[in-house]
Structure 1
Amino acid sequence: MSDDPYTVLGVAKDASDAEIKKAYRRIAKDCHPDLKPGDAEAEAKFKAAAAAYDLLKDPEKRAQYDRGEIDASGQERPQQHYYRDYAEAAGNPYRGRAADPDDMSDIFAEFMRGRANYGQRSQGFHAPGHNRSYSLQISFLDAVFGASQKLTLPDGDRIEVKIPAGITDGQTIRLRGKGDPGFGDGPAGDALVTVTVAPHPVFERQGDDIHITLPITIDEAVLGGKVPAPTIDGGVNVSVPPGTSCGKTLRLRGKGVKKRGSSDRGDQLIELTVAMPDQIDDDLKAFMETWRDTHRYDPRKGMPS
């Protein structure tokens, strides 16, 4: 991603974490591919916002970006990174010395002069290749069940990233040896893939549990009955008890996310909310007026006035 993440999210550079999160969720809600299937422009905007949020939600990455140490895709500036790797390498006489990037420039120049002047002597320099950081956006259900996705590297190569079931937003997957080549006989660096999980329009993850809000009608709330409800495994029918109030929560055991290191799964929590009809017709109005006259009750009894 080459665009400034603050511009992508439409926030100021001194925006708070809450403002950044709110801006991202607003774009995600408006442009999510599940809500606008086939809309390439909306999908591109959503992906750009996800990448921008992935960078800015991490305090360390945000500070590095603000200092100009990494670009908008999270990549370190190549020249600065090379100097840093040489400074930290075994055998470097300047190792352990506190230095800024300008000092590193001088050290690197001296190292190159040493290679020219001492020939064979310089061939003993070995150091690991530096790591490369990438961002990968995945769907909510891919995070829940696991998946494999292809990641395109800057040089055009594509590598497969295996996403473990139950991965959470912001976790990093390490791909050994997929970073930059080492110096001399040093090993290659790693690819560090930070995962961004796209929000789902219905499901919300709470630890290993899945939470949804399910609307029910007035008659379903009063009389109870079986009503359809979505789960990450597909639709099911749930039993609504008679006399259900808004906020009552039903629990479906084992319908959540697979727990790490176990075959067990979390639960699905279904919070019920009573949805009024779009229009109150005369029959319903007359019935409720009559019912109120003979069955009046106070649900706020005991609350301070």
Structure 2
Amino acid sequence: MRDPYQVLGVAKAATQAEVKKAFRKLAKQHHPDQNPTDPKAKEKFAEINAAYEIVGDDKKRAQFDRGEIDAEGKPRHPGFEGFEGFAQGAGPGGFRRGPGGGGQHFEFNFGGGGAGFEAADIFADLFGGARGGRPGAGAGRQAREPGADIALEAAIPLETALRGGKARVLMPSGRTLEVDVPAGMEEGKQIRLRGQGQPSPSGGPAGDALVTVRFEKHGLFKIEGRDLRLDLPITLYEAVLGAKVETPTLSGKVELTLPAHSNSGRTLRLRGKGLPAAGGQPAGDLLVTLRIVLPDGADSELEELARRMRSDKPYDPRSELKK
């Protein structure tokens, strides 16, 4: 894998906020759902996620900068490549030829330990074998480090946020997972999928997938925090005379009472008909803005009424703009 800084297009001195911003931009740009005709989109998306797993994590970023892990998050063990760091013959940390004709058998001698670790521990991690050395030595090192968490996003309809349901997320590997979204989900909140993150490099448990929820754009409603906004078309006579008008909400249609003489642009509030909130907080409201719509085509009677009003009862709705 390429250098994670290069993958994300950030400098080595970039702040975590800059790293996160770069990741979000690239993840959105290269998400396979946004590039259905690009066969390399999944591969690019996976590379971006893997790079963020290193640079986006303070601990792993420091380890990578110090050369302790590689671009895939795997530990680097200096001196183990081809066993160059071991000389033949007895001695601490080395190995010697064992007895038995031809010298094809080797015994490892781990001596009295090293600078903060024992070679036996590393061999056990690398090869999955039993630990050598002294009985009981290094017992506290038996725990395996868990794999890294991965950051994902799931876009859900507003109706799913209200009632709960399922969402699908694309993993860096290219496979798709189905996520249970609880009712009352708020935008920006995370859902943790245990064991769905990166595998452990040392045989420990896999990391988790942290799925951040985003709301899809809705055909009717605009989002303002927990409130929703709706433009509601009404007739001229409903505006003048008042009426009861069927109005859509996330939870179904309701009957909205229009006061007589309602101007276009007037906003009526339906309390509790916005987005839900967690922790016992009240739900948002639905803000309904009235938009007067004239009938299609010419209407001689309406035009005659307008001429009489202009002649007998003129008024200036823009007087406030002239002050």
Q: Is the 8 A contact 1:84 1:104 kept in 2?
A: no
Q: Residue by residue, what CA displacement relative to the aligned partner does 1:239-294 show, whole Å, maximum 9, x if unpaired?
A: 11111111111111221222221163222111111112222311111121112222
Q: Distance in 2 between matches of 1:115 and 1:128?
A: 27
Q: Which residue of 2 aligns with 1:121?
A: 121
Indicate yes or no: 2:259 matched with 1:241. yes
Q: Is the 8 A contact 2:23 2:48 kept in 1?
A: no
What amino acid does structure 2 have at the position aligned with 1:59?
K
Q: Residue by residue, what CA displacement relative to the aligned partner does 1:116-166 show, whole Å, maximum 9, x if unpaired?
A: 967733126742212223332322211233223354646676644222334
1:144 counterpart (162, 173, 179): 162
What amino acid does structure 2 have at the position aligned with 1:110?
P
Q: Distance in 2 between matches of 1:194 and 1:84?
A: 15
Q: Residue by residue, what CA displacement relative to the aligned partner does 1:89-114 show, whole Å, maximum 9, x if unpaired?
A: 9xxxx958545998999973627538
Q: Is the 8 A contact 1:144 1:165 kept in 2?
A: yes
Aligned-pair identity (%): 32
| Rg larger in structure | 2
Q: Distance in 1 between matches of 2:72 and 2:159?
A: 45
Which 5+ residue runs of structure 2 have no aligned equivalent? 1-8, 10-19, 31-41, 87-92, 94-118, 126-140
2:202 counterpart (167, 184, 189): 184
1:199 counterpart (217, 234, 240): 217
2:45 counterpart (63, 69, 73): 73
What amino acid does structure 2 have at the position aligned with 1:146?
G
Q: 1:216 to 1:108 in 2, by over 3 A?
A: same
What amino acid does structure 2 have at the position aligned with 1:251?
R
Which 5+ residue runs of structure 1 have no aligned equivalent? 1-12, 14-57
Q: 1:103 to 1:268 in 2, by over 3 A?
A: closer
Q: Is the 8 A contact 1:73 1:134 kept in 2?
A: no
1:268 counterpart (286, 311, 315): 286
Q: Distance in 1 between matches of 2:121 and 2:174?
A: 36
Q: Which residue of 1 aligns with 2:248?
A: 230
Q: Distance in 1 between matches of 2:238 and 2:296?
A: 16
SS of the residue 1:244 aligns to: coil
Q: 1:64 to 1:218 in 2, by over 3 A?
A: closer
Q: Which residue of 1 aligns with 2:12?
A: none
2:228 counterpart (210, 223, 229): 210
Q: Distance in 2 between matches of 1:84 and 1:204?
A: 32
Indicate yes or no: 2:45 matched with 1:59. no
What amino acid does structure 2 have at the position aligned with 1:295?
K
SS of the residue 2:303 aligns to: helix
SS of the residue 1:108 aligns to: coil
Q: Distance in 2 between matches of 1:285 and 1:79?
A: 66
Q: Distance in 2 between matches of 1:157 and 1:100?
A: 30
Q: Distance in 1 between matches of 2:74 and 2:169?
A: 36
Q: Distance in 2 between matches of 1:60 and 1:83?
A: 11
Q: 1:214 to 1:187 in 2, by over 3 A?
A: same
What amino acid does structure 2 have at the position aligned with 1:248?
R
Q: Distance in 1 between matches of 2:271 and 2:71?
A: 60
The Cα RMSD (Å) is 4.2
Which sits farther off after the overlay, 119-128 or 253-262?
119-128
Q: Distance in 1 between matches of 2:169 and 2:221?
A: 26
Q: 1:194 to 1:83 in 2, by over 3 A?
A: closer
Q: 1:245 to 1:205 in 2, by over 3 A?
A: same
What amino acid does structure 2 have at the position aligned with 1:275?
V
